[in-house]
Structure 1
Amino acid sequence: MYVLTPLQEDEVHTDQTASYTEQKQYVKKKPNGAVPETNKKSKKKKKKGKAEPPASAKSRDEKSLDSILEDLAIEKRPMQKSVHQNDRATGKEIQTIEMTAGTSSVLAIDPKHLKAENEMRRIFGSKVVDSLENQRNMPGTSRQVRGVRRAGLNPRRTLLVSPPGFWPAWDKSMSMDLVETKGSLKYFRYVYDPSVSHVQELFEAAKSANDLNAIAAILAKYPYHPDSLLTFADLFKYSGEHQSSADAVEKCLFALECAWHPLFNPLQGNYQLKYSHDLNKPFFTALFGHMKNLDRRGCHRSALEACKFLLSLDSDDPKGALFCIDYFALRSQQYKWLEQFAEEYQCDNSLWLFPNFSFSLAIARFYLERDAEDVSDHADKSTAVDLMKQALMLHPLVLSKIVDKAPLKDSSWTQILKNAFFGSAKPGSPSLEHVINIYVERHYIMWRFPELQNLLKEAALLVIESLKHDSREAQDWACVMKEAFSSEKNEYSHLLVSDFSDTTPSLPPEELRPFMVGPGMAHDMPPVEQEAGPERIHAPLEVVGRNAARVFLESLLPWVNYGDNRHGGNDQHDDD
């Protein structure tokens, strides 16, 4: 390393690679007399490179979008940030120092794949995504002056979400403390600022009374209160307004990310955020909901990165990220990574004993074999058929559940299920039955692909044929599962099967009414049929045809404006 003294005069700033916050830093130009040897070598290489003919203009035009994004991507090497907490909130320039040795892990997060915008650009193109982002950054509450661009309150970039400019500035109501350090791991937890410590008590009181107005009043004064935002996110979700629910979740994540400790670096992997601390729980809930929203939008690679982040936060895996990470890996075609993860990740049981990994590893091997250019690359590994056969031996109950859920309507499945091994299969333990139900609910859509149905059918027929010659093999596998899932209690009862489902049950307005008003006020509200009466005809265009319960809930939020309709329905309204 060379210690260089900056010039005292005529300082020249050069742009450096941004950290994961994508902010720019400026480095002073080094004096001409102190050039490291590495720079001299690079100059020689550049001179040699000049002799090579330049690339044609046509080849530059044909450069794919993926390669451009790769060039603009953030470096994978972890960066250690030396920044004050207030600098994170105000978006000031952040100094970054590269770590001498980074930690490599299967849970290492790739920041360029973490945001949905990058993946959507690959799918739909930059013009479409930029157009949608421009619409998002023009809320109905702000009047744009023609020819003048409105300055955003949140110009800073964050790792998890891209905040629109119309969001209010972060209120600094929370921060993150370093609790302790054990070995190479640092343990953190969220804390409230003493000046707003009473807000959580107000929220708990409003929640126990089912008073949504009180929660809305909290958001009016503290727009980044995590639990209040997550409450409205759930209400929007159950009323069928998934985009509004996703916006509330992203707003919660933005606030919680602003509160990160300077030493809390998701790209470094040496952190723990224990779920046992109550104030840490909103971050787990918001990140899990954000992961599901990414999957719903078709951004499976971004969902995989979010799932890796969620799994790395707490080694106890309180949200069950382990039961859906393989699904996101398959949907994003990260087959080699999935095999590497199954080999390297440490947990109480071997991952291949869980039903989701038993079947997903077979599917991953199937696609790797299909796409392999050289068959000898997989000569020393079990084939996809063998892995699928093993999965059916371990979890025969899965077959009948997949046939019903997918559904698989071919008549051959009826004959296969008549076999006693599949037709009379039992779960064996409450824990195993629960994780099987989670697997079927999360992964059933994978079995709608014809090639995977053929793989499953071939393996099932081989299992039946094998048991005709040696029935003791089934007993051996049953003993393995009994030892792996030996508890008589459901060890995964805290994980709801519905949380892993793609479908969300919607509640009718009459069931949401008790939550819209304070206690004892429901009888003063007009009947539901009156709410959709003739007076709705003159409502603004932004409200017509929308869910009445959702409109009422949304109107309580301080940043929502449907326009002034006192002069009739022909006035010009702001876009919502």
Structure 2
Amino acid sequence: NNKPRKKKKKRKTKKNSAGETVEDNDLEDIDSLLERIEDPRLAPQSQGGITADSRPLLYVEHRNLNPENELKRYFGARAVLGDQRPRQRQRQYIRSMWLTAPKNTWPRYSKTGITMQLLDTRRGVQHFTFEHHREYQQVQFKFLDAVESMDPNNIVLLLQMNPYHVDSLLQLSDVCRMQEDQEMARDLIERALYSLECAFHPVFSLTSGTCRLDYRRPENRAFFLALFKHLMFLEKRGCPRTALEFCKLILSLDPENDPLCVLLLIDFLSLRAREYTFLTRLFQEWESHRNLSQLPNFAFSVPLAYFFLSQQEERPELERSQARERAARLIQLALIMFPSVLMPLLDHCSVQPDARVASHPFFGLNAQISQSPALNQLTSLYVGRTHALWKDPAVMAWLEPHVHEVLRTVDAQDALVQEAEHKRKIRYQSAPRNIYRHIILSEMKEATAALPLEVTSQPVMGFDPLPPLDSIVSYNRPER
């Protein structure tokens, strides 16, 4: 995954008006088809055979948003597409989309009353917002009535009349998921994404990393949520690389506020997709202004990424030894900063710690009991989500000596240990709302169990979980 790929020679193709490639030859090598989608000017420049990625960190590649491309890489084109010829694969829809492929089984699309406006451009960054026109607002009011009725059939009826109403699609998808109908749940999310993409402003770009949407505006929330739910389905389907690209897209829409707190997820997807250099680059570029090492997931996942890089035999020995050193330093810092992660992690991996580790108070039960509820949510989320990546015997063999090294540091009463304890006490008083929102959306039982009463005691709506307290409201539901 981190190896530069040789570009294949490309044959010129004719384009039709819909931007779809017309092929004369049946199943030409899929990779060369994909490469035509890419703009060659944006490709990373190769320096002496090593790809130097000079593109922005959150640059999104169109081809990586399509799960079929990832499945083809794993299983080959024929396994994914079968023996159908390209002409047969063309849809009745002419409109070519980036986020999802429209299906023949979907209702015919007609304008919904959602549009997108460019609000302003500041320092090269464009701020957009979705807008609901009057007819869409009327459907939105009916939708809120349907939600309050607590009867999902009312949402089904509403969708029969308005098949591309986004919040109805999100809410019904949640209902289907609870009823174990994963296929339908996924299909409804894809339909919501299609509906929103049809409303894009002509200059709104998914890939530039410079287009922003404000989550405080209710009209924008559906886009964030549909992208998040879509990437969760992609990850479950075994498409972590595609899920990572969607995660980067969500982060690029509001990197400062990160309303769905995808920073708690991006490390896991990077590791699952084996995009180790992306994760280490994110850490290097953002640590100084975002304090990523103060999030347990970055504290543990970044050294794990360096460890995996150090195992890649195709890398030069100097690079590998630097990765080994960084992995060692960072994993020890992580264990000192977040000692409560170790025991639950070993437990999830069915690994019995040795007597010295098991009996030492530093990693013992007190480490769990003494931490604040806010920190407990973060560590529980991390262990629940990523423990499978730590199960690898090679990873455990690497971790063990560092655990013992940390115990030596603790026993020597190193100032670093007291400093970390002090930071834990003052920094994790309570979690911000976006972390609670993320935990609710993640449905990770280890973390949802740790949510505070003020969150669990209020009704949580799938189409708008924990709305921001400083919402920017452009229209209100009429009084009844």
Task: Give 3-state SS (helix, strand or coil) of 1:266's partner.
Answer: coil
Alignment equivalent of 2:32, drawn from 68, 74, 91: 68
Decide whether the 8 Å contact of 1:441 with 1:497 is kept in 2.
no
For structure 1, the 5+ residue unaligned runs are: 1-13, 26-63, 80-102, 135-147, 505-576
Superposed displacement of residue 240, structure 1? 0.8
* 1:197 alignment partner, SS class: helix
Q: Does 1:439 align with 2:382?
A: yes
Answer yes or no: is the 8 Å Cα contact 1:301–1:328 preserved in 2. yes
CA separation of 1:311 and 1:347: change in aligned 2, threshold 3 A: farther
2:332 and 2:406 in contact (8 A); partners too = yes
Q: Does 1:120 align with 2:71?
A: yes
CA distance in structure 2 between the aligned counterparts of 1:259 and 1:192, rounded to whole angstroms: 10
Cα offset, 1:499, TM superposition: 3.1
Q: 1:305-324 maps to which residues of 2 (within 5 A)?
A: 305-315=245-255, 316-324=257-265
Task: Give the Cα separation in 2 of the matches to 1:133 and 1:261.
Answer: 35
Question: What corresponds to 1:467 in structure 2?
Answer: 410
Task: Give the aligned partner of residue 158 of structure 1.
Answer: 97
Aligned length in residues? 414
Task: Judge which range, 452-461 or 228-237, deviates more.
Answer: 452-461
State the match for 1:401 in structure 2.
344
Partner of 1:451: 394
Match of 2:282 among 312, 328, 341: 341
Name the amino acid aligned to 1:454.
A
Corresponding residue SS for 1:164: coil
What does 1:338-487 align with in structure 2 at a 5 Å threshold? 338-345=279-286, 349-372=290-313, 373-378=315-320, 382-404=325-347, 406-410=348-352, 412-413=353-354, 415-423=356-364, 424-426=366-368, 428-482=371-425, 485=427
Q: Is 1:253 the equivalent of 2:193?
A: yes
Aligned equivalents of 1:132, 1:252: Cα separation in 2: 30
2-side partners of 1:475 and 1:291: how far apart?
Answer: 40
Partner Cα separation in structure 1 for residue 404 and residue 16 of structure 2: 55
Relative to 1, partners in 2 of residues 1:466 and 1:489: Cα closer, same or farther, differing over 3 Å? closer
Letter in structure 2 aligned against 1:303 = A
Distance 1:76 1:344, change over 3 A: farther
Q: Distance in 1 between matches of 2:176 and 2:21?
A: 37
- Change in Cα spacing, 1:133 to 1:461, as seen in structure 2 (3 Å) is farther
Pick one of 100, 108, 114 that aligns with 1:169.
Answer: 108
From 477, 480, 495, the equivalent of 2:437 is 495
Query: 1:441 & 1:17 partners in 2: Cα distance?
Result: 47
CA deviations on 1:363-415 (whole Å, 9 max, x unpaired) are 111111111543222555633222211110110000122123x23233x3564
**Which residue of the partner structure matches residue 196 of structure 1?**
136
Q: Select 1:107's aligned residue among 26, 51, 58.
A: 58
Contact map agreement 1:176 1:191 (CA 8 A) in 2: yes
Deviates more, 1:305-314 or 1:104-113: 104-113
* 1:509-566 superposed Cα distances (whole Å, 9 cap, x missing partner): xxxxxxxxxxxxxxxxxxxxxxxxxxxxxxxxxxxxxxxxxxxxxxxxxxxxxxxxxx
Secondary structure of the equivalent of 1:181? strand
Secondary structure at the aligned position of 1:190 is classed as strand
Q: What is the TM-score of this pair, normalised by structure 2?
A: 0.78
Q: In the alignment, is the contact (CA less than 8 A) between 2:91 and 2:104 conserved in 1?
A: yes
Deviations 1:208-265 (CA, angstroms, capped at 9, x unpaired): 1113232122111110001111111101101111111111111110110111111111
8 Å CA contact 1:296–1:502 kept in 2: the answer is: no
TM superposition shift of 1:117: 0.4
Is the 8 Å Cα contact of residues 190 and 280 (structure 1) preserved in structure 2? yes
- Contact 1:78-1:268 at 8 Å conserved across structures: no
Q: Which amino acid aligns with 1:169?
A: R
Q: CA RMSD in A?
A: 3.2
Distance 1:496 1:67, change over 3 A: closer
Partner of 1:44: none
Q: Specify whether residues 150 and 474 from structure 1 end up closer, same or farther in structure 2 by C-alpha distance, changes over 3 A only.
A: closer
SS of the counterpart of 2:430? coil
Shift of 1:66: 7.4
1:285 Cα deviation after fit: 1.1
List per-residue Cα deviations over 1:319-347 (Å, max 9, x = no partner).
12101101111111111111111111378
Distance, in Å, in 2 between the alignment partners of 1:276 and 1:132 is 47
Higher helix share: 2
Tell me how far 1:159 sits from its aligned partner.
0.8
Identity %: 28
SS of the residue aligned with 2:437?
A: coil
Query: Does 2:219 correspond to 1:294?
Result: no
**Secondary structure, aligned partner of 1:189:** strand
Residues 77/310 of structure 1: CA separation in 2 closer, same or farther (3 Å cut): farther
Higher alpha-carbon deviation: 178-187 or 298-307: 178-187
Corresponding residue number in structure 2 for 1:540: none
Q: 1:132 to 1:356 in 2, by over 3 A?
A: farther
Q: Aligned partner of 1:420: which letter? A: P
Residues 451 and 421 (structure 1), Cα distance of their counterparts in 2 relative to 1, 3 Å cut: same
Question: Cα distance, 1:196 vs. partner?
Answer: 3.2
Aligned AA for 2:180?
A: G
Do the aligned residues in 1 keep the contact of 2:310 with 2:321 (CA within 8 Å)?
no
- CA displacement, residues 251-293 of structure 1 (integer Å, 9 cap, x when unaligned): 1101101111111111112111111111111111111010001
TM-superposed deviation, 1:455: 2.0
Whether the aligned pair in 2 keeps the contact of 1:153 and 1:167 (CA below 8 Å) is no
For the Cα contact (< 8 Å) 1:65–1:122, is it kept in 2? no
Shift of 1:184: 1.4
Q: Which residue of 1 aligns with 2:25?
A: none
Q: Closer, same or farther in 2 for the Cα pair 1:77/1:327, shift >3 Å?
A: farther
Decide whether the 8 Å contact of 2:129 with 2:213 is kept in 1: yes
In 2, the alpha carbon distance for the partners of 1:179 and 1:473 equals: 48
Q: Is the 8 A contact 2:349 2:388 kept in 1?
A: no
Greater Cα offset, 192-201 or 291-300: 192-201
* Contact 1:116–1:302 (Cα < 8 Å) also in 2: yes
What SS does structure 2 have at the residue aligned with 1:345? helix
CA distance in 2, matches of 1:320, 1:408: 29
